[in-house]
Amino acid sequence: MKIFIAGGTGFVGGHLVEALHDHGHSVRLLVHRRSSRVTDAIDQVEGDVTRLQSFESAAEGCDAVINLVGIIREFPASGITFERLHVQATANVLAATGKAGIRRYLQMSALGTRPDAVSHYHMTKFQAEELVRSSGLDMTILRPSLIYGPNDAFINMLAGQLRLTRIMPVIGSGTYRLQPVHVADVARCFAMALRLNETIGQSYDLCGNNRLTYLELLDAIATAIGRTAPFKPHAPLGVMKLIIPIFQHLPQFPITMDQLQMLIEENICDGSWKKVFGFEPRGFPEGICEYLRK
């Protein structure tokens, strides 16, 4: 099959392209600008996912579409908003899919996306899911938890801080739980879904096997880089809810209220996706050691 991918030049996209090639598929990427660093085996088409007219015919000749477009933080002054990159972009990719006469469509959403979501991130992810569900296409929605792996943002950021200091401030109790999933396992699920007809019309929460509190996550990262467990002073949640709104508009400020909300409401799932995809995800302690120790 030839697969058209929107949002395929980022962290998850690189692993997905590799997984698709391993499964015998060819790939066409929607890119802002052609890159000589991309192998000749990958077809590149220039376009802007927020402007349908710039790529509306780009998926023609493909057999399936995968939409990975998403952001974790807004920068409204630069036009980078959840509404544009989650909702508008999904509507545009769906329109291009329909114009190309393609039936098979896969969407990357996020664990925690639901009708009664509190964070704006999850609200717009749910709006995007609703567009996909109402499209009439043979769709599958995958909702990964915190994705980790080589070149990830979050785990590498924490590891970088732990290499510099043994003091790691924690917002609130730190007992809120996460269940990270390796990027290669997420990519594998996307590639497998293309040939698993039972996934059509379904949505799956993807998570790893290790359920850790944020405190345990920090200790696991410290162990992976050969450090002792850090000192973890606690910043009261109520105080942070007063401070963050004042500074979150600054690009250098490390967290927004939306990200805080997603952190404290937890990021876990029951692992039922494994019954369909038939494999065990790699363990978090082993997975982070593979790249953090390098």
Domain positions in the chain are: 2-147+181-207+270-279
pLDDT digits (tens, 9 = 90+) for 62-98: 999 999 999 999 999 889 999 999 999 999 999 999 9
**Average per-residue pLDDT in the chain?**
95
The rounded percent of the chain whose pLDDT value lies above 90 is: 93
At residue 42, the pLDDT reads 87
At residue 77, the pLDDT reads 86
Residues 6+ apart with CB under 8 A from 157: none
Q: pLDDT confidence of 143, banded at 50, 70, 90? A: very high
pTM exceeds 0.85 for this model: yes
Q: What is the DSSP letter of 197?
A: G
pLDDT digits (tens, 9 = 90+) for 205-230: 999 999 999 999 999 999 999 999 99
DSSP string, 33-90: S--TTS-TTEEEEE--TT-GGGTTTTTTT-SEEEE----SS-BGGGTB-HIIIIIIHH
**Superfamily grouping for domain 2-147+181-207+270-279:** NAD(P)-binding Rossmann-like Domain (3.40.50.720)
Counting Cα atoms < 13 Å in the Cβ hemisphere of 44 gives 12
Q: pLDDT confidence of 251, banded at 50, 70, 90? A: confident
pLDDT digits (tens, 9 = 90+) for 164-207: 999 999 999 999 999 999 999 999 999 999 999 999 999 999 99
**pLDDT > 90? residue 252:** no
In angstroms, the CA 128 to CA 149 distance is 26
pLDDT digits (tens, 9 = 90+) for 27-70: 999 998 877 666 667 899 999 999 999 999 999 999 999 999 99
At residue 33, the pLDDT reads 85
In angstroms, the CA 143 to CA 139 distance is 13
Residue 263 is encoded by which pair of tokens? 């952190």
At residue 58, the pLDDT reads 96
Q: Which segments of the chain does DSSP mark as H helices, in order?
A: 11-22, 82, 89-99, 120-133, 154-164, 183-193, 214-224, 237-247, 257-264, 273-277, 284-292
How open is the CA angle 223-293-167, to the nearest 5 degrees?
45
pLDDT digits (tens, 9 = 90+) for 261-293: 999 999 999 999 999 999 999 999 999 999 998
At residue 39, the pLDDT reads 66
Q: What is the DSSP letter of 231?
A: B
Measured CA distances, 196 to 163, 166, 218 (Å): 43, 46, 37
